[in-house]
Amino acid sequence: MYNSFELNESVRRALDLYSPSLIRIAFAYLKNTADAEEVAQDVFLAYLQKRPVFDNGEHEKAWLIRATMNRSKNMLKAGWFRSRNPVPEDLSYLPKEESDVLQAVLALDKKYRIPIHLHYYEGYSIQEIATILEAKPATVGTWMARGRAILKEKIGGIEDEEVCL
């Protein structure tokens, strides 16, 4: 249990360390920066209210990622979110190659998109992604292989790149 000062420090440190990752995971789900930031704020609010105790930094990050994914899914399910017609995120400020890759990944089905994000951006292994997504590693491997195949058709890729289980 934290005291007030420790809690404040803990929240500030988590914000510094994990907010960019959480916003991007939420973005991978929602395809919108504003919504992603809202989800990330909700997650930190939950962190403040629940005051969870973690074994280490990795444990803390995993909890925050899991919370971000759950809230993102909830937002996707929400009626107001589904009924609206959002303006697509303007990624024109990115270099063309980066923009094309990002647009291609965001166009993937969610079940391929999230493992690919966790692997290519966060650097998690299939085993770790399987733990985070509460799925079998083989299943995660299959999702990633299929997603990569789709991307390869669209934008090309590294021929010899393999997914290690």
Residues that bind other proteins (CB under 8 A): 7-8, 11-12, 15-16, 19-20, 23-24, 27, 33, 36-37, 40-41, 44-45, 48-49, 91, 93-95, 97-99, 101-102, 104-105, 116-117, 120-121, 148, 151-152, 155-158, 161
Q: What minimum distance in Å lies between the beta carbon of 139 and other proteins?
A: 21
Q: How far apart are CA 120 and CA 107, in angstroms?
A: 16
- Give the nearer residue to other proteins in terms of CB position, either 158 or 164: 158
- Give the nearer residue to other proteins in terms of CB position, either 91 or 136: 91
Q: What minimum distance in Å lies between the beta carbon of 24 and other proteins?
A: 5
